[in-house]
Structure 1
Amino acid sequence: MEPSNDTQIPEFLLLGLSEDPELQPLIFGLFLSMYLITVCGNLLIILVVASDSHLHTPMYFFLANLSFADICFTSTTVPKMLLNIQTQSKVISYAGCLMQMCFLIIFSVLDIYLLAVMAYDRFVAICHPLHYTVIMNPRLCGLLVLMSWVISVLHSFLQTSMVLQLSFCTEMEIPHFFCELNQMIQLACSDTFLNNMVMYFAAVLLVGCPLAGILYSYSKIVSSILGISSAQGKYKAFSTCASHLSVVSLFFCTSLGVYLSSAATQSPHASAVASVMYTVVTPMLNPFIYSLRSKDISRALKRMGVKESTCQQGSIFKVSLTPTLLPPSSTFGGLCD
């Protein structure tokens, strides 16, 4: 096929997870359910952290940012997939494909760096508890999140600008349900040596450094926990990082599983199915892991439920009173403040 300039490419075709028409309703219902659970669960975490003063700590500040990144990460791919299934169309424009790839890179890298920042936060909390509030001050917390965003955006812009230099053939079919960087490079008709070099070098650097930081932090955490004499003290120290450790393990294990499955089978379809784990399943499970493992989140959810119930009861009681019995400055109005 003759190469053509990328500005002349009208559209790509996303082949999705399956071309079987009978499976499309099942896939649509399954992914719609997972997407709604992901958005609602992570949004609830953000609202709980923002509304409860007991959760205004560095750890939950990072958790709220992670939940926001997970919402955006899933929203980059799943809505377009659902739209294509609903309209029975596999088309995505060239500009739309580049935008999807750009945002996917941003939020995937942001996820990795936020997990590394949270590991550092747990390291300081367990290994340097007396200096925790001094080290993890609001300025440093904001700077760590800002740097995570900057690195993610710069990396995404670098990869996207390099893809813009490639020439593509006509009738472009992407054997995936979203526009992935690796798939875009493989479909190019022009020389992709530099793109591959930058992609693999960036993967080693941008994934290897945070992963090394996470492993170092947890090696120090484990060493400190083993040094605690009482069993209760060990359990309390470990429980503070159990949720984060579960999320880190889930994210990196599923990502590694995708890489190994694609390398073993050499099948783009198998890689697309495996990538569902870290693009959809992991963001969906994160809120459940934190809400089940974190007593602070559980207590905050209970406080929100009690407050809402109290507000509703106060409103009902207030309406049932006659105007003559209700003082102008009734205390019931302050129950929801």
Structure 2
Amino acid sequence: MSLSQNISIVHPEYFFITGLTDAPYSTYFYIFLFIIYFISVIGNSIVLLIIALHRSLHSPMYIGVFNLALADIGETNALIPNMIKLFVFESRYISYNACLANMFFVNFFITVQTYTLVVLAFDRFIAICLPLRYNAIVNNKFMAILFSVIWAFNTFLVTLSTSLITRLSFCKSNVIESWYCDYDRLVRMPCNDSSINNVIVILIQAFFLVAPPFIIVLSYLGIFIALCKITTWEGRFKALKTCVSHLLVVGSFFLPIISNIVSASTANAKIIGGTLSLTLPPMLNPIIYVLTTAKIKDLIRKMLNNRSAQIRVNVSK
């Protein structure tokens, strides 16, 4: 019988999350994160309300934007408040069950974000490459089914990966060298066999860090080929303009993650980079869609004008 089979499963009562170890002025960084949290929640809530309340936005593309805003709010609430509690209030111990819950929700909403970006890329691909068949292929029912499948699949995969943590024995250390309950860090810590968990790490990276950008690049390769077939520059610009917001959101999501992975920096710099790579996109997404989408911008302008007119009427009374 192997040694790993003789080791009883040890689940610590608490994990200790290191965060920014001895980093100067780290409190100011967490104040910055609180500002990001506030803007993210307010911005995405505004996008959700605008899309929900205006029937003109009840279309396939905006269903995708609605889903992205919902995932952004979920990820922001799963990550930032817990970080502030852990590090600002010096409560760096998190219970075993709370750690698993934190891991589940952070990973779940990140995976939903990645495949929402894939769906939005598919939407733009069909709209530009097959414009005459767009309404037949992409409609509200299709998008609702597609996002239901994405949420169900992500729930299954993240539940499976999180539940497999319970088979690991943490008899050597309960210190997580990260800023949240990071799955990748946890599977390096046990004193029993974690080969199954390592396979899950590879699968998660393949499903959510490799496949999505690859599919998005293929979609835009098809879009580029379709644009080359448009005879006028005006037509090309008009078609490309519909992709600007999605391209900016994709860039803000994947580029910080990739740069943090490939960069050679100190532990604190890695943590700051990793934190920003997960927290900045949910803040930037609503700003990008509001600033680059004429429909949303016009609706916000009308809402503000109506509100100011109502205030003037109340004041005049």
Asked if these proteins are the same fold (TM beyond 0.5), I'd say: yes
Report the CA distance between 1:23 and its aligned residue.
2.1
Paired residues of 2:20 and 2:26 also in contact (CA < 8 A):
no
Match of 1:156 in 2: 158
Question: Which amino acid is 1:297 matched to?
Answer: I
Is residue 257 of structure 1 aligned with residue 256 of structure 2? no
Alignment counterpart, residue 19 of structure 1, candidates 8, 19, 22: 22
Matches within 5 A, 1:1-337: 5-7=9-11, 9-20=12-23, 23-169=25-171, 171-261=173-263, 264=264, 268-316=267-315, 320=317
Give the count of matched residue pairs.
Answer: 312
SS of 2:193's equivalent?
A: coil
Secondary structure in 2 matching 1:186: coil
The aligned residue for residue 331 of structure 1 is none
- Separation of aligned partners in 2, 1:33 and 1:195: 35
Name the CA distance, whole Å, in 2 between partners of 1:121 and 1:315: 44
Q: Distance in 1 between matches of 2:207 and 2:104?
A: 18
Give CA-to-partner distance per residue, 1:207-233, whole Å, 9 cap, x none: 433333212211111111121112211
Cα 1:72/1:276, change in 2 over 3 Å: same
**CA contact 2:172–2:191 (8 Å) conserved in 1:** no
The 1-side partners of 2:204 and 2:85 are apart by 32
Cα distance in 2 for partners of 1:185, 1:114 equals 27
Report the Cα offset of residue 118 of structure 1: 0.5
| Contact 2:17 2:92 survives alignment (8 Å) | yes
* Kept after mapping to 2: 8 A contact 1:48/1:297: yes
Shift in alpha-carbon separation, 1:171–1:195, aligned structure 2, 3 A: closer
Write the letter of the residue equivalent to 2:276.
M
Q: TM-score, normalised by structure 2?
A: 0.92
- Structure 1 stretches lacking a partner, 5+ long: 321-337
- Please give the per-residue CA displacement for 1:4-45, whole angstroms capped at 9, x wherever unaligned: 6344x110111112434x624312311111110111111111
**Is the contact between residue 6 and residue 164 of structure 1 (CA under 8 Å) also seen in structure 2?**
no
Write the distance in 2 (CA, Å) between the matches of 1:183 and 1:55.
41
- Distance, in Å, in 2 between the alignment partners of 1:81 and 1:205 is 26
Check whether the contact 1:176–1:269 (CA below 8 A) recurs between aligned residues: no
Larger Rg over CA atoms: 1
Q: Distance in 1 between matches of 2:261 and 2:26?
A: 26
- Alpha-carbon distance between aligned partners in 1 of 2:308 and 2:52, rounded to the nearest angstrom: 19
Separation of aligned partners in 1, 2:307 and 2:163: 49
Q: Percent identity?
A: 30
Contact 2:18 2:178 (8 Å CA) reproduced: yes
1:271 Cα deviation after fit: 3.1
TM, length-normalised to structure 1: 0.86
Residue 9 of structure 2 aligns with an amino acid whose one-letter code is: N
Would you say the 8 A contact 1:175–1:269 is kept in 2? no
Letter in 2 for 1:233: G
Distance 1:4 1:43 in 2: 47
Deviates more, 1:81-90 or 1:118-127: 81-90
Partners of 1:121 and 1:111 in 2: CA distance? 15
Tell me the secondary structure at the aligned position of residue 187 of structure 1: coil
Write the deviation string for residues 114-164 of structure 1: whole angstroms up to 9, x where unpaired: 000001111111112222222112211101111110121111011111111
Shift of 1:287: 1.3
In structure 2, C-alpha distance between the alignment counterparts of 1:292 and 1:212, rounded to whole Å: 27
